[in-house]
Structure formats: structure tokens, C-alpha cells
């Protein structure tokens, strides 16, 4: 599985940005997709997750109500719609994929649950 992110850049506080992650190499319906982020000198942290086959999406508490994970089957793409961004959202955002057997719900926030990672795209929120 290959994952390629795009869409990062400079955005002002309160603005919006949409990140994209294109997947190839395996049927998208087999994948559980997630976004993580890593700020300078901080550990990588979970942002959002959803299974391609459906079901609920899960979010890190600080992004609930502001970020939305969206899938597009026709384009093999998962998006992260970021609204009302804050300075603390500044980070490299990485796309990750989990293959069957998928991690259980209680484990979707763990880095170790994911088999494939993209290179990341930088989001810089200016105040």
C-alpha cells in the first residue's frame, strides 16, 4: 500500500484547509484509514480514523467539531477537512492505513495499529 498526502500549507487562525491522502496498491474497501500529526519536538498523536467499509469515525478530543475525516471511494482518497484551525494544530499530518484484521475500536488511536504510512504534509497555522 502506498499513501501520498497533499494539501498542507500556511493558513491563518480560524481558517480552513483540506488535506488529501491517495491510496494505491490494495482495494480501498480493505483499509481502515487514519490521520495522525506530529508537531515539532512532540510525539506523534492520533487525529481521526474511519473504516473504508463504513461505521463511525473517531476523533481526538481537541479536534472534535472542527475536523472531519471524509472518504471518496471513486478516487481512493481520504480527506481531512480542517476548519477553525488553531496555532496548536501546526504539525506534519500523516495518513496511515490498517489492513485486516483491523485494530479493535479501543486501539484505533495507537500508532502500532497501522501498517502503512505516508510521508506527511506540513500544516502551519499563523496567528
pLDDT digits (tens, 9 = 90+) for 55-95: 789 999 999 999 999 999 889 999 999 999 999 999 999 99
Please give the Cα distance from 6 to 113 (Å, whole number).
23
Looking at every residue in the chain, the average pLDDT score rounds to 94
Mean pLDDT of 98-109: 87
Cβ neighbours, 10 Å, residue 10: 12
The helix/strand/coil state of 93 is: strand
pLDDT value for 110? 95
Non-local (6+) Cβ contacts of 35 within 8 A are 19, 21, 47, 48, 49, 69, 78, 80, 93, 94, 95, 96
Start-to-end CA span in the chain (Å): 37
Instruction: Please check the confidence at residue 52 and state whether its pLDDT lies above 90.
Output: no
pLDDT value of position 112: 95
- Region 102-110: mean pLDDT is 88
pLDDT at 48: 97
Q: Read off the pLDDT band of 5 (50, 70, 90).
A: very high
Q: Are 108 and 97 in contact (CB under 8 A)?
A: no
Residue 39 · residue 124 · CB < 8 Å = no
Amino acid at each position: 500500500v502506498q499513501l501520498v498526502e497533499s494539501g498542507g500549507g500556511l493558513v491563518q487562525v480560524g481558517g480552513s484547509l483540506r488535506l488529501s491522502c491517495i491510496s494505491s496498491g490494495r482495494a480501498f474497501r480493505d483499509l481502515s484509514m487514519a490521520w495522525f500529526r506530529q508537531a515539532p519536538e512532540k510525539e506523534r498523536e492520533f487525529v481521526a480514523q474511519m473504516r473504508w467499509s463504513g461505521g463511525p469515525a473517531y476523533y481526538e478530543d481537541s479536534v472534535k467539531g472542527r475536523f472531519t475525516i471524509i472518504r471518496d471511494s471513486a478516487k481512493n482518497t481520504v480527506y481531512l477537512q480542517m476548519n477553525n484551525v488553531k496555532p496548536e494544530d501546526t504539525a506534519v499530518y500523516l495518513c496511515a492505513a490498517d489492513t485486516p484484521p483491523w485494530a479493535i475500536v479501543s486501539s484505533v488511536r495507537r500508532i502500532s495499529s497501522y501498517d502503512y504510512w505516508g510521508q506527511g504534509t506540513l500544516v502551519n497555522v499563523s496567528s
